[in-house]
């Protein structure tokens, strides 16, 4: 993972593989039973076909659930929706082994379509895209990218091989791409998409409103399951509020099932983040969560580290998930620090080894937010090391 122009960092004791879209959170655990199998290709409305990216990943915190895998060919009609499916080869695997991966969307009704995101560059996705385009007698006229993460953009080469005439758009574009402006409109037959800059998950993140359905493509700011990770909590909350004010219909997320009531789901996200902030403040003030207002507690102390807070707030979450969960807590502390409600002491000798790693990761995140190069978080299969690889020679990994 090292080489010219590359810096590699690691932190210990994260044995499970994570997607960079979702966070380890009690809401994610509580919502686990709501996950449903997703076919690799499915028509979601008259104007929207979802094509999974073919990039399942491990999710060790949600045991016992299943994801459906199949190859797809002929069109099968269902009473309330349509699925492009091949009925001979269906199997299920536990969700702790497989997570469905990235959603990409083919949008429109005519020959020229819009493609939203391109997956991770997996052959299965490219094959399914070709099948769908053939079945629909369609081509990709415009490709819109919600954000720069690899699981949404690495399929670009495959797309341009299949549809070389496609024009690619992304906010803060890379070479060969066109910029997406806030409020910009993209239209094809049967679909009008209006772009909105919604930073939070990433600084370049865009959401898109499908005006014909009053629906929103939420990217990775809002998922069909659990909660999302974000770079800046206050910026993220502002974007969630903006998204909530734009639609009253469905949400089409970057990962997971369709959100039938996007307004309610976004409100749930906002409420959940406020709940987390209140819990952090409560522990800082009283030393624990279950204490009456104004009551003194022997657990109260002057200084806390992020992992100490995590061990109380996430006391019902397995300990091996505490370090990943600390990301959200650090973001809350950063927001409170900006508001003058807490003081951050990076040089405290009281920090334990694990907490130093949390602060180390935080310092890297702060550096990345001020730089133009890209970062990639990945877990090495079969090991207990998490590498943060930063390519300083290119903006695209």
Q: Average pLDDT in the 68-83 region?
A: 27
Question: Which stretches of 137-184 are DSSP H helices?
Answer: 150-153, 156-162
Q: Is residue 171 part of a domain?
A: yes
Structure confidence at residue 35 as a pLDDT band (50, 70, 90): low
Strands 139-145 and 167-170: parallel
Q: Is residue 202 part of a domain?
A: yes
The set of catalytic residues is 151
Same domain? For 201 and 296 the reply is: no
Q: Average pLDDT in the 171-194 region?
A: 97
Decide: helix, strand or coil at residue 31.
coil
| Phi-psi region at 388: left, alpha or beta (left = phi > 0; alpha = psi -120 to 50) | beta
Of 261, 290, 306, the position where a domain reaches its end is 261
Dist. CA 378–CA 385, nearest whole Å = 9
Same domain? For 57 and 118 the reply is: yes
pLDDT of residue 11: 21
For residue 340, is pLDDT > 70?
A: yes
pLDDT of residue 218: 98
pLDDT of residue 76: 28
Same domain? For 171 and 48 the reply is: yes
The DSSP call for residue 320 is G
Q: Average pLDDT in the 325-345 region?
A: 82
Same domain? For 293 and 384 the reply is: yes
Dist. CA 325–CA 330, nearest whole Å = 9
Q: What share of the chain is helix, strand, coil (3-state, %, to 5)?
A: 30, 25, 45
> Cβ distance 255 to 102 under 8 Å?
yes
Q: Which domain holds residue 214?
A: 34-261
Same domain? For 60 and 82 the reply is: yes
pLDDT of residue 73: 32
Same domain? For 282 and 379 the reply is: yes
Dist. CA 300–CA 283, nearest whole Å = 8
The DSSP call for residue 166 is P
Element (H, E) at 285: helix 262-286
Give me the numbers of helices (H) and strands (E) for the chain, helices first please. Answer: 9, 18
Structure confidence at residue 347 as a pLDDT band (50, 70, 90): low
For residue 265, is pLDDT > 80?
A: yes
> Cβ distance 365 to 231 under 8 Å?
yes
> Cβ distance 63 to 95 under 8 Å?
yes
Dist. CA 310–CA 89, nearest whole Å = 43
Of 230, 261, 292, the position where a domain reaches its end is 261
Q: Is residue 18 part of a domain?
A: no
Same domain? For 77 and 113 the reply is: yes
Same domain? For 279 and 156 the reply is: no
Decide: helix, strand or coil at residue 141.
strand
Dist. CA 240–CA 270, nearest whole Å = 7
């Amino acid at each position: 993972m090292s080489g010219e122009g590359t810096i590699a960092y690691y932190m210990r004791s994260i044995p499970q593989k994570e997607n960079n879209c979702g966070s380890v959170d009690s809401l994610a655990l509580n919502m686990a039973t709501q996950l449903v199998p997703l076919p690799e290709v499915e028509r979601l409305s008259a104007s929207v076909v979802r094509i999974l990216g073919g990039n399942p990943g491990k999710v060790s915190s949600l045991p016992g659930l299943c994801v459906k895998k199949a190859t797809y060919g002929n069109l099968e009609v269902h009473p309330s929706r349509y699925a492009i499916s091949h009925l001979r080869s269906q199997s299920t695997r536990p969700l702790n082994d497989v997570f469905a991966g990235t959603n990409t969307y083919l949008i429109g009704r005519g020959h020229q379509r819009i493609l939203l995101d391109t997956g991770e560059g997996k052959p299965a996705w490219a094959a399914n895209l070709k099948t769908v385009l053939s079945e629909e007698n369609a081509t990709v006229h415009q490709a819109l990218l919600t954000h720069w993460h690899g699981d949404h953009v690495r399929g670009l080469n495959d797309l341009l091989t299949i549809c070389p005439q496609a024009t690619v758009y992304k906010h803060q574009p890379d070479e060969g791409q066109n910029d997406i402006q806030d409020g910009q409109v993209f239209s094809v037959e049967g679909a009008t998409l209006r772009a909105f800059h919604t930073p939070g998950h990433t600084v370049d993140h865009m959401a898109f409103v499908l005006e014909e359905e009053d629906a929103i493509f939420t990217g990775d700011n809002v998922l069909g399951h659990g909660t999302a990770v974000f770079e800046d909590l206050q910026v993220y909350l502002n974007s969630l509020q903006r998204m909530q004010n734009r639609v009253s219909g469905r949400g089409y997320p970057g990962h997971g099932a369709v959100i039938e009531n996007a307004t309610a789901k976004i409100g749930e996200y906002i409420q959940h983040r406020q709940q987390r902030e209140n819990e952090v403040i409560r522990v800082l003030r009283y030393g624990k969560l279950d204490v009456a207002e104004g009551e003194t507690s022997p657990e109260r102390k002057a200084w806390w580290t992020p992992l100490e807070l995590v061990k109380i707030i996430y006391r019902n979450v397995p300990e091996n998930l505490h370090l990943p969960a600390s990301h959200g807590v650090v973001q809350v502390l950063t927001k409170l620090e900006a508001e003058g409600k807490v003081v951050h002491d990076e040089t405290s000798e009281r920090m334990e080894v694990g907490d130093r790693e949390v602060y180390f990761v935080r310092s890297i995140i702060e550096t990345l937010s001020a730089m133009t190069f890209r970062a990639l978080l990945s877990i090495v299969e079969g090991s207990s090391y998490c590498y943060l690889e930063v390519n300083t020679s290119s903006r695209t990994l």
